[in-house]
Structure 1
């Protein structure tokens, strides 16, 4: 009798010790009870043909002088099916035909399995695990992992700082505009496409703001007139553009989009 069978090209059954395991995870084995292992062996030997319940009960229990009911057989079939499914097989691996019996359908292949190949496969898996462990604990990766995490942390800090700064700027504009007209400190510099451009008058030109808006791909080709506000901070080298569908004057509700960046990006 062959010592190993492979079911559906993924599950290996070891007849000698009643164990089953997935070919890709041979380190995880399920030990079948003797009746469940005998059931599986009978189904394999039947070569996809239906095995009647009486035949299974007779060969597994009755010949040994053990009297059991059909419920005992059904319970072991259920447990066997559950173990096979836990290792990756479909639940229909064992088909129940009412008033006829059980079989492994033709769609599931059953073939002898070479024990030597199984041993080589286990060795390859073990070697791969050892190699992976060594790679994970290598000095290079130990040094690199903190660097990667630091980069991620820095990116997140920058991202949240941009969002926070943008919120502060927008709130400041609305609060300031509700008290004093924004044009007092941010006069109109000119018009670019369908955007009126406003900005700080000191050391600021229309062409500069236009170039910054173009570089940041700020869309000014709307049908309706929009209002573009530029803000710069030379000390921390941060710049912002706020594009609104209405003028920010404290009287009209505006929907605005913010573009925020640092001078270090250029």
Structure 2
């Protein structure tokens, strides 16, 4: 194929997977889930090896090591878990990614995978298969190689930008005495769940519950005092916690003295 502009994998004729955008889109319920770049890279590798076992070592190299990143077993497993959950949110409740104990992962041959290729305003719709007699993929054209090169460069750039943003966010957590004002709309979903004992705790009610906060403080030694205000929020799909501890309650056009934390490993 020449002049390939985009590729989309169709899983079980229900979910569209875009490796370029790192997204899953359900044609059944309309849900669109954005994946972590590492999880997207791992799933693309499984699709490129459809019906074959891919070792955990290979997936770790694809998702992290080729970018000089280290990943723990728990983080790797969490990425696979969120990937499976994303498929359920898109309406596929049966097993798409199969675990082979102590060996690796695979997308079984019984899972229907099709590849949608868009080129020059024309769409070719064909099943993903190996050693096909009708379509010869063994000799990629220069355009295919160039397209794959551009995709890899784009994926690396997106991952690097994500890492830079993550570092900046974490660094802000160790800076004490920063004065800033947040817009009222940012905190419109926060509600007070605890008051008294020199402490005011507010949580994002769209993301978190009181039990989340109680489990959090049982795992981390982070308590407020002197009538401080705690703003607490968890995140959907990813193990992240955001905490602001401030001397005063947030009000529009008023400065506040706060310390922020961004926890990467959620223990709740």
Q: Which one has more relative contact order, counting CA pairs under 8 Å at least 6 apart?
A: 2
- On whether the aligned pair clears a TM of 0.5, the verdict is no
Higher strand share: 2
Q: Provide the TM-score with structure 1 as the length reference.
A: 0.41
Higher helix share: 1
